[in-house]
């Protein structure tokens, strides 16, 4: 029996530059990380695009851009989207 592979979620760290995704949730967050994510208004269901990986991860959400540190990168889980999906 052969079932197709479906990606339902992965770490933000695995996205390639230009790739898009939907935030599915946050993992391993302490209070400081949770406050920082909330202050950025990042939440599950939000579409993002990875614009840059080095020297800092830069994500775009609509008209906003955020530089993320390693702690925030590891906390965000996404479901990858097709590159042609609008953001």
Q: What is the pLDDT of residues 22-72, one digit of tens each?
A: 999 998 789 999 999 999 999 999 999 999 999 999 999 989 999 999 999
Q: How many CB atoms lie within 10 A of CB 16?
A: 9
Q: What is the spatial distance between Cα 69 and Cα 87, in angstroms, rounded to a whole number?
A: 23
Query: Residue 1 above 50 pLDDT?
Result: no
CATH assignment of 10-81?
2.30.30.90
With cut-offs at 50, 70 and 90, classify the pLDDT of residue 5. very low
Instruction: Tell me the mean pLDDT in the region 5-18.
Output: 79
**Domain residue spans in the chain?**
10-81
Q: What's the order of all strands across the beta sheet hosting 10-11?
A: 10-11, 76-81, 20-26, 47-52, 57-61, 64-68
């Amino acid at each position: 029996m052969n079932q197709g592979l479906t990606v339902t979620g992965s770490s933000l760290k695995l996205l390639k530059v230009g790739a898009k995704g939907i935030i599915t949730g946050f993992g391993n967050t302490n209070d400081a990380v949770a406050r920082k994510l909330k202050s950025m208004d990042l939440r599950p269901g939000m579409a993002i695009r990875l614009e840059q990986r080095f020297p800092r991860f830069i994500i775009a959400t609509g008209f906003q851009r955020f530089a993320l540190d390693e702690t925030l990168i590891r906390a965000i889980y996404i479901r990858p989207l097709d590159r042609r999906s609008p953001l």
